[in-house]
Structure 1
Amino acid sequence: MMTLEGPGLVERKIRRLDEKVMIKKKRTRRRIRVLKRPLQAVASVTLQRLYDTCLGVFKGIGTVPTPLNVKKLSHILDCMKPEDVGLREDLDFFKTKTNSVQGNTRVTYATIHRCQNFSLCIFFLPASAVIPLHNHPEMTVFSKLLMGTMAIKAYDWVHPFNGYSSTASSSKMRRLAKLKADTTFTAPCDTCVLYPTSGGNIHEFRAITPCAVLDVIGPPYSHDHGRDCSYYKDTPFSVLSDGEEFFTEVKNEGRGYGWLEEIEIPQESEMDVIEYMGPEINIPDS
């Protein structure tokens, strides 16, 4: 049998129901906050471990990390995930970090920490973005692809041919370089390491999908200490090397070499700086 209840009674029941819903929502929000704290704590610990290790690995200008220290730092980076530096793998987040509106391929980067001996930076590349061939003079660099798929091309200078032009009539100086890598990487993957004169010191990043790369650089770029970044364009060795008798042995090896010519950074490859918003690092008092 159906009965009709008075307006006052109905209102009181609706009010009690609303209160129960609000209590449930508050409890849910409280549980979410509790769940987020451990994740943030883990991220802080991981990043702090990276920073603390860098303090011992990078000894200053003119030094190269020992093989043992390279292995130690690489192991930490190999295990790092996007959330360790406050990143999330979702499209809206990437659009914010890369400013990747339709047709925009501008690279952005955030500095986590920088000191005299090393720097920690994250580079955000929209799909199709390129960081052109560039060098790292007197530096050791650890690059960890955190998110996305990226093509990396890398060269090292060939000695003793650095002072030769590619052709006798050339008005521009081109230096011979050996191709060390021309590979596509997809996260998660191992850390890439380059050294002052080996390992692919001159390299190019080309994003196939939106990418995030964590770079550990020691020592960092410094105009005052002569460590400026130079950019290059490459030309296949076979195109410009006809008639150069002293390159006979190099010619016999085929496509593993290229001519690099220094250029100004292309306007479309200039980068924007954004604020780092991830976990903080505890820096000891000096």
Structure 2
Amino acid sequence: MRPGDDMRSSIVQQIARQALATFRSGGCVGEASRCFPEQQSKLRALLTEVRAADLRLVVPRAEDAKHPYHGSPPPVTYMHICETDEFSMGVFLLKRGASIPLHDHPGMHGMLKVMYGKTRITCFDLLDKSPLSGASTGEPQSGSLRRSVLRSTGEYTEHSGPCVLAPHRDNLHRIDAVDGPTAFLDILAPPYDPDDGRDCHYYKVVPEAAREAGGPQTPQDHGSEVWLMEISQPPDFWCGSEPYPGPGVGL
């Protein structure tokens, strides 16, 4: 910890160390391993307890939170805390009305814990391993259709437990700021690495494909099927960076 950090601030260090224990290589990582559920449970418990003050985040004042995002500064910013070969940890901050578009985490685990505000997280699972051509929908040939299912939708606040993502469950998700700005602590394991097959892909719901297949054009309930198309990063979304003000992490 940095000089002057109090004992409560050490929860950030505890989370980092527990993330390392949970996702380290050597046989522990993976939902089928014996120790993974126990280590993951410990990490979830720590994340449930952490608050914005532990990371020294400045919660927007009520009057400031009323101003919507109009598209000039980045709609989303990121505070980097730490990264190892096993996991990365940082804070995403979304302005009022901002969203992180539907995207995936190939072969990765994830945990999101809201620090302030209200966050809506909508999760999908892919049902088909192999994509279909997008030609039948009139979309560009570079797109690919994926049969998917709406797995979960939930709203989270600082009093909620973490949202947990797995390589094959709730892996694709969209994140929306609800009724004001929001921020969440984010852990990904292992980190994104395009050279190792872990690049971020963006998707959109394709109503035309659902109509041709005789299904609902938009996901109605949890478990309902929907067609997703891989797209380029939406032009109205980009992520800036800002300094992390909280206690340091040593691993």
Shared fold (TM-score, shorter chain, > 0.5): yes
**How many angstroms apart in 1 are the aligned matches of 2:112 and 2:222?**
29
Matched with 1:64 is 30
Matched with 1:30 is none
The amino acid of 2:9's aligned partner reads S
Task: Report the Cα offset of residue 138 of structure 1.
Answer: 0.8
**How many angstroms apart in 2 are the aligned matches of 1:263 and 1:114?**
28
Structure showing the higher helix proportion among its residues: 1
Matched with 1:153 is 122
**How many angstroms apart in 1 are the aligned matches of 2:188 and 2:54?**
18
Matched with 1:119 is 88
Of residues 182, 201, 204, the one that matches 1:233 is 204
Residue correspondence of structure 1 range 219-230 to structure 2 within 5 A = 219-230=190-201
TM-score, normalisation: structure 1: 0.72
Task: Report the Cα offset of residue 102 of structure 1.
Answer: 5.8
TM-score, normalisation: structure 2: 0.81
The amino acid of 1:204's aligned partner reads R
Q: Which has the higher contact order (CA 8 A, sep 6+)?
A: 2
Structure showing the higher strand proportion among its residues: 2
The amino acid of 2:235's aligned partner reads Q
Task: Report the Cα offset of residue 184 of structure 1.
Answer: 2.2
**How many angstroms apart in 1 are the aligned matches of 2:136 and 2:60?**
53
Residue correspondence of structure 1 range 1-286 to structure 2 within 5 A = 40-60=5-25, 63-64=29-30, 66-91=36-61, 103-104=70-71, 106-159=75-128, 162-164=130-132, 172-198=143-169, 200-208=170-178, 209-236=180-207, 239-242=208-211, 244=213, 256-283=224-251
- Contact conserved, 2:99 with 2:176, CA < 8 A, in 1? yes
Q: CA RMSD in A?
A: 2.9
Change beyond 3 A, Cα 1:262–1:61: farther
Task: Report the Cα offset of residue 222 of structure 1.
Answer: 0.5
Unaligned stretches of 5+ in structure 2? none
The amino acid of 2:233's aligned partner reads I
**How many angstroms apart in 2 are the aligned matches of 1:60 and 1:222?**
16
**How many angstroms apart in 1 are the aligned matches of 2:123 and 2:222?**
17
Question: What SS does the aligned partner of 2:144 have?
Answer: coil
**Sequence identity, in percent?**
29
**How many angstroms apart in 2 are the aligned matches of 1:178 and 1:106?**
28
Cα-to-partner distance string for 1:189-246 (whole Å, 9 max, x where unaligned): 1111111111x1000111111111101111000122111100111135xx5335648x
Unaligned stretches of 5+ in structure 1? 1-36
